[in-house]
Copies of this chain bind each other. A is one copy, B any other.
Amino acid sequence: MISVTLIGSGNVAYHLAHHFLKRSQICLKQIYTRNTKDLRYWKDKVSTTNSLELLEESDVTILAVSDDSIQEVSKHVKNSFVVHTSGGKSVNELKNTTNKGVFYPLQTFSKHKEVSLSEVPFCLEAENNKDLQLLKRIVKSLDSNWFEINSEQRKHLHVAAVFANNFSNHMYTLAKDICQKHNVPFQILFPLIQETSQKIVDLSPEKSQTGPAVRNDKKTIEKHVNLLSEKQKEIYKLITESIQNHGKKL
């Protein structure tokens, strides 16, 4: 049995807590949050506190707070092993004087959408092997995969995730804008979007690249550019150019 203290009540803390409560190998000892609504929500499920002074010791204390709060909160944590859950921050962002680590679930979490943690890869980092093994055991109890990723690698992985998730999602948003403006139901594009995201698993994104840019179909590119707003045009041109230059590098 691994005991866990959880600090925070955002999306990551919310999903982790719910999954921990379901696992027999994990004992969720306490949740810390300053949010009174969240305190009420968790009160009858698990021991809660809104004071870092009253934090209970556990095998691991998971700090699932916003990036900007990691330094400040961790300063006040005396527990023996503290990890944060951030993709964007180094392990040294933690200011506790005890052992440190990172327990970063690489997924996009929304409170109102259930996430199957078994499909979430955890990026782990710890200062010693014993701590690392402990984090691995937690991941295993969640039926998830883990990768050992140090702070330097994670920094770059975090930028890569911005491209893979935030920016691809914005491409969907721009597609939806165009559809709405011209009375085309956006859902026509759902199967295409899903197939595109599946294809990279079997085929790699470079080999999956289709469309006028990679074909260097200048007539279509020109026609498309003329249909777009000024801002859309700029994006269309820059990504088209990037696709074409990428082809040349290969």
Contact = CB atoms under 8 A, between A and B. Distances in A.
A174 B184 contact: no
B119 A191 contact: yes
Interface string A218-250: 011001100110010011101100110110000
A220 B67 contact: yes
Given A191-B119, A245-B231, A196 B164 contact: yes
Contact of A164 (B106, B162, B171, B235): B171
Interface in A134-185: 147, 149, 152-153, 155-176, 178-179, 181-185
A197 B199 contact: no
A199 B11 CA distance: 15
Contacts of A174: 160, 163, 242
Contacts of A199: 108, 110, 113, 169
Given A88-B220, A106-B192, 9 more contacts: A110-B199, A156-B181, A157-B184, A159-B236, A160-B178, A173-B206, A173-B243, A196-B197, A235-B239
Interface of A: 67-68, 88, 106-108, 110, 113, 115, 119-121, 123, 147, 149, 152-153, 155-176, 178-179, 181-206, 208-214, 217, 219-220, 223-224, 227-228, 231, 234-236, 238-239, 242-243, 245-246
28 contacts: A67-B220, A107-B191, A108-B192, A108-B196, A108-B199, A119-B191, A147-B185, A157-B178, A157-B184, A160-B175, A160-B176, A162-B212, A163-B174, A163-B178, A163-B236, A164-B172, A165-B210, A166-B210, A167-B171, A167-B239, A169-B209, A170-B213, A172-B208, A173-B243, A175-B205, A187-B201, A234-B238, A238-B238
